[in-house]
Structure 1
Amino acid sequence: MAVKLATPQTSATRQKLELHPDRALPVDPDQRAIARTIYAQTKDLPLICMHGHVEAEVFATDQPFADPAQLLIVPDHYVTRMLVSQGMTLPELGVPRLDGGPVETDPRTIWRAFCTNWKLYRGTPSRYWLEHELVEVFGVDLVPSAETADALYDRIASVVADPDFRPLALLDRFNIEVISTTDAASSDLSHHRSLAEQGYGERVLPTFRPDAVACMDRAGWRRSVDALGVAAGIEIGDFAGFLEALRSRRRAFVAAGARASDHGHDLADTTPMDGHAAERLFARALAGEQVSLEEARAFAAHMLFEFAGMSVEDGLVMQLHPGVLRNHHDGMFAQHGLDKGFDIPHAVEYTRALRPLLQAYGTDPRFRMILFTIDETVYTRELAPMAGVYPAVKLGAPWWFIDSPEGMRRFRETATETAGFYNTSGFVDDTRAYASIPARHDLFRRIDAGFLARLVLEHRLGEDEAVETAQDLAYHLPKAAYARRDQI
C-alpha cells in the first residue's frame, strides 16, 4: 500500500539526536538557574500514574511488544492524527479496520512514513515525548529521517526484543510506583485477578469507566447494558436493577484495588431527573424505543449525580473530563471504531452544570472529585474558583490537547492564583502510549520548576518552599488525591 511522504529531510543525517539538559526550562538565565535546582529535586521521584489507558491485558500477559511501529505509532492518536492531517490515511498507518479490510501490515513501511515526516512534529509536545523516548528509552542518537529510518527501526527493534523490555519490567525501569488502567463497567477484571496472583495487585489498578452504559446515545448502549448485567450476575429489567448492577460492579472494582471512576461525558451537566421520569426513560430505551439527544443528555446528567452518590458510598474518586466531541467524523468512526474518529474539543459550561452535584456532595468529607477540562477559558472563570472553595473538588492537570508545555504554563498562570497549588491533583498523565509516560512526567516537572522559579525571583516564594511545592505537585499530591479513603 502506497504511503504519501513529505519531502525527505536529507540534512537530518548530519544531526545527532541529543536531549539538552535544560530543555523546556525558562530562557531567562537567573530563572533557569533556580529552575534547575528545583527540577533536580523532583526528576527522580517515583511516577504516580492514576489516569492511564494502557490496557490491563498488556500487563497481565506481559508479552513482548510487537515492533517499533506497533509500539510508537499505530496506537498513538497524537502521532497518527498529525500524519492524517497531511494527507495520509489510517489504513496506510496500519490502524486496524473494524471490517477486517486491508491496512498496511509492514511495520517498516509505517515506520519510514513516520521518520520521513519527522518535521511535522516540530513545536508539538509529541516531538518532546518522542525525542525523550528515542534517547532515554531506546538509546537512539540519530534524528529520524528517510535516511535514518531503517537504522532507527533496527535499534528500537533490538531493544523491544530484550526480555527486560516486557511491560512488567518497565514498571521498575520507568520508576512507576502505581499505574491505573481504564476498564468498562462490564469488565470481568480477569486480567487484574491475574496481576494480583503475580504480585502486582497493588501496583496495577483498575479504574471504573461506565460511559458506555450511562450515555444512551453511545453506539451499542443496549449491548453494554446487557454485558453489565452479565458481569454483575443481575438481570437488568428496570432502572433499579441497573443501579444495583452498577453498585455491584463498583464493589468488585474496589475489591480489585480500584481508586477511581472515570467519566468522559459530552457535557458537565449533573441535574438529577425526577425518579419516576428516569425509570420511564430507562424502560423505553431498554425496550428499544428511540431516545432523543436531549433525553440522552438528561439521563447522562442524572447518572453523573447518581455516580457521585455511589462515590460517597464506596470511596472511589470521581474523575470528570467532559468537553470532547467523540468521533467527529462518522466515516472514520464507522471504519476504525472508538478513539479513531477525530475527537475534537468543544466549550463546556461548569458553574451551573455542576451546581446540583456540588450542592449535594461538595462539602461532604466522604466525596472526592477531580475536574479536568479541554477548555482553558474556564480555568480562571469557573474551575479554579470551584476547586478553591469546595473541599471535595480538586482541579486536574492539563489533559489531552493541552498536555503540552504552553498548556501547562497557562494552567499554572490561570489557576494558581485562585485554587492555589494544593487544590489540584498534581500531575496526572493520560495516555495509551506506555513508553511515553516518563517523558510526560518529566515535561510537567520541568514546567513546574520554571513556574516556581519565577515566583522565587519575584520574592513570592522562598526557594525551599518552591522545592517542597514541586515535590508535592510531582508526587505527594497525586498520591494523596487517589489514596484509598481509609488511608486519608
Structure 2
Amino acid sequence: MTSSRPATADWTLHPHRALPAEPGLRDIAVRIYEQTASLPLVCMHGHVEASVFADDEPFADPAQLLIVPDHYVTRMMASQGIPLESLGVPRRDGGPVETDSRKIFRTFCENWHLYRGTPSRYWLEHELVEVFGVTERPSAESADRLYDRISECVADPSFRPRALLDRFNIEIISTTDPASSDLSVHGRIAEDGLGERVVPTFRPDGVLQLERPTWREEIATLAEVSGIDTSSYAGYLDALRERRAAFVAAGARATDHGHLYADTHPMDPADAASLYSRVLGGETPTAAEARAFSAHMLLEMAGMSCEDGLVMQIHPGVLRDHSTQVFERHGQDKGYDIPIGAEYARAVRPMLERHGLDPRFRVILFTIDETVYSRELAPLAGAYPSVRLGAPWWFLDSPDGMRRFRELVTETAGFANMSGFVDDTRAYASIPARHDLARRVDAGYLARLVAEHRLEEDEAIETAVDLAYRLPRLSYPKPVPA
C-alpha cells in the first residue's frame, strides 16, 4: 500500500488540481478560477465552536487540530479496524484513550494511503501544504517531521483562531448554537469587536425532537435562559420566540434544522399542546408522535422566520448515531451518521403552501440524497421565490459530488436560486480548502458551458463570482423583523 516515491521528496500541489483534464477546457477554467481564487470566504453554515473565537487560545497540537475532532478523518481509519480510542477520541465514561498526540499523528500518517480518492485527502493536502508549509507527504517515515513543523506553526500567534480569520480571508463565519444557549460566549466575541464577523446560528433540534433522551432537560434549560415558563405548550412557543429574538440581537442570520425527515405537516394545535404536556410529564412518545411533532414544529419555525427574518435551513435525511455502541461509548458526531432516502415535494408542501410566496420567508434546502436533485429540489427552487438550494454537503462536498450537483440542478433551477458555497465543517483549518475546491469545480463546470457556446466567458466569470461570494451574502441577509 506504500508509495515508491521517497517520503523526503519535495511535495507540492498542482496549481490546476481539480480543474478539467482536457487542455482547452482547462485553459478556460484557469481564467475563471483566477477571478475567484482570492475572494473573501463567506462561511454561513459552520460548526466551529464559538468558544474557539472567544478564548482565542493556541491550538493544542497537530493531532488535536487535524485528527481527533474531525470525524471525516477518524471514520476512515475506524472503517479499517483502528479503534477510535487509539485516535484519542474521548469516551463518554472517561475511560482510557490514547493521549500521546505524537503517537496519534503517527497512526494517521502511517495510514495516509486510506484517503486516496476521497475529499478528505484534498482538504488535508491543502491544509498541510498551503496552511502549514509541509513539503513532504505523510508517511510512517515523515510523521515526526510533519508533527514538528505543524507544532511550530500552531505555537505562532499568527495561527491563533482570530488571526486565522484574516489569514484565511474569512469575511463572516457562523457558529451553530442550541436554542438553550445563553449566548454569553458570543457576548464576549462582540465585546472584542468581532460581533459582525462571528455570528451565531439558531439550532433548536434539541427542543423540537421529543424522542431525544435529553429533551426534558433541554426544555428546562430553555425556560431558564428565556425566563419564560415552559410548562405549557404556549409558554414553550413564547420561549422559542424569545430565544430567536436574542439570537437576532446577537447577529444571527439563520436557523438550522437537522431533522430526520423534511416533513412540515401541521398538527392540530390542541393535539400538539396535549402531546407536549404528556411528554413533558414523563410519557414516552411513540415514533409516530415524535415524527408528527417534529414536522409540526418545522412549520412553526417557518412561521417564526416570517416574523423575525431568520433564514431557515433544513438538512434532513441523516440517520444519526447508526452505531449504538459507538454512540454510547463516544457520543455524537463520530462518523456514524448514515444517509437515508429523502422526500421533499410532499414533505415541504404544507410549509410552502403557507409561506412559500411570502416575501418575508427564505428557506435553504440541503440534501445528501442525490436522487432528489433534479426530480424535486431543482423544480421547487425553480418555482418558489422563497426556496434556495443549499450547496452539496457532507458526503457530497467532493469534486465529483459538486459536479453532479451542478449538472443535475442548474438547467431547472438556474444559478440564482442556489445558496452559493457553504462549507459545513467544524474542522477550522479545512475551511479554505473546501472553498477552494468548490471554486475550482465551478470553474470547470462553467468552462464547459463556455466551450459549448452556452455562455460567454465574461458571463461565466460573473457567475463564478456569484457562486463563490455574492450568492452566499444574498442568501443570508441580516434579519429584517416584520
The answer to whether the superposition gives a TM-score over 0.5 is yes
Give the structure 1 partner of residue 278 of structure 2. 284
Distance 1:464 1:349 in 2: 37
User: Equivalent residues in 2 for 1:333-482 (5 A)?
Assistant: 333-340=327-334, 342-482=336-476
Q: What is the CA-CA distance between 1:375 and the residue it aligns to? A: 0.1
Q: Deviations over 1:324-368 (max 9, x none)?
A: 000000111111111126100000110000000000000100000
Distance 1:200 1:360 in 2: 37
Code of the aligned partner of 2:56: D
Matched, 1:34 2:19: no
Give the structure 2 partner of residue 187 of structure 1. 181
Give the structure 1 partner of residue 42 of structure 2. 48
Distance 1:456 1:242 in 2: 53
Code of the aligned partner of 2:420: G
- Which of 229, 254, 258 lines up with 2:252 in the alignment? 258
- Which of 71, 74, 88 lines up with 2:68 in the alignment? 74
8 A Cα contact 1:207 1:253, kept in partner: yes
- Which of 119, 128, 133 lines up with 1:134 in the alignment? 128
Q: Secondary structure at the match of 1:318?
A: strand
Aligned residues: 481
Code of the aligned partner of 2:155: A
Distance 1:14 1:437 in 2: 27
Q: What is the CA-CA distance between 1:384 and the residue it aligns to? A: 0.4
Q: What is the CA-CA distance between 1:218 and the residue it aligns to? A: 1.6
Distance 1:87 1:328 in 2: 17
Distance 1:365 1:143 in 2: 51
Q: What is the CA-CA distance between 1:14 and the residue it aligns to? A: 4.6
Give the structure 2 partner of residue 219 of structure 1. 213
Code of the aligned partner of 1:374: I
8 A Cα contact 1:8 1:117, kept in partner: no
- Which of 142, 147, 161 lines up with 1:148 in the alignment? 142
8 A Cα contact 1:8 1:116, kept in partner: no
Code of the aligned partner of 2:439: R
Code of the aligned partner of 1:28: E
Q: What is the CA-CA distance between 1:485 and the residue it aligns to? A: 3.9
- Which of 289, 293, 299 lines up with 1:299 in the alignment? 293
Q: What is the CA-CA distance between 1:216 and the residue it aligns to? A: 0.8
8 A Cα contact 2:318 2:340, kept in partner: yes
Q: Deviations over 1:400-454 (max 9, x none)?
A: 0101000000000000000000000000110000000000000000000000000
Distance 1:50 1:17 in 2: 32
Q: 1:436 to 1:341 in 2, by over 3 A?
A: closer
Structure 1 alignment gaps of length 5 or more:
1-6
- TM-score, normalised to structure 2's length? 0.99
Code of the aligned partner of 1:47: L
Q: What is the CA-CA distance between 1:290 and the residue it aligns to? A: 1.3
Code of the aligned partner of 2:194: Y
Greater Cα shift, 251-260 or 224-233: 224-233
Give the structure 2 partner of residue 4 of structure 1. none
Code of the aligned partner of 1:230: E
Q: Secondary structure at the match of 2:312?
A: strand
Q: 1:327 to 1:44 in 2, by over 3 A?
A: same
Code of the aligned partner of 1:228: L
- Which of 267, 270, 273 lines up with 2:261 in the alignment? 267
Q: Secondary structure at the match of 2:60?
A: coil
Distance 1:321 1:341 in 2: 17
8 A Cα contact 1:328 1:344, kept in partner: yes
Code of the aligned partner of 2:468: A
Q: What is the CA-CA distance between 1:217 and the residue it aligns to? A: 1.1
Q: Secondary structure at the match of 2:10?
A: coil
Q: Secondary structure at the match of 1:157?
A: helix
Q: Deviations over 1:117-170 (max 9, x none)?
A: 000000000000000000110000110000000000000000000011110000
8 A Cα contact 1:330 1:341, kept in partner: no
Q: Secondary structure at the match of 1:277?
A: helix
Code of the aligned partner of 2:28: I
Greater Cα shift, 293-302 or 7-16: 7-16
Q: Secondary structure at the match of 2:256?
A: strand
8 A Cα contact 1:350 1:382, kept in partner: yes
Give the structure 2 partner of residue 3 of structure 1. none
Give the structure 1 partner of residue 84 of structure 2. 90
Give the structure 1 partner of residue 156 of structure 2. 162
Q: What is the CA-CA distance between 1:16 and the residue it aligns to? A: 2.7
Distance 1:266 1:293 in 2: 12
Give the structure 2 partner of residue 59 of structure 1. 53
Q: 1:341 to 1:159 in 2, by over 3 A?
A: closer
Give the structure 1 partner of residue 169 of structure 2. 175
8 A Cα contact 1:18 1:135, kept in partner: yes
RMSD across aligned positions (CA): 1.0
Distance 2:9 2:415 in 1: 40
Distance 1:210 1:299 in 2: 13
Give the structure 2 partner of residue 241 of structure 1. 235
Distance 1:134 1:246 in 2: 42
Distance 1:396 1:292 in 2: 32
Greater Cα shift, 319-328 or 339-348: 339-348
Q: Secondary structure at the match of 2:171?
A: strand
Give the structure 1 partner of residue 312 of structure 2. 318
Code of the aligned partner of 1:126: S
8 A Cα contact 1:326 1:341, kept in partner: no
Structure 2 alignment gaps of length 5 or more:
none
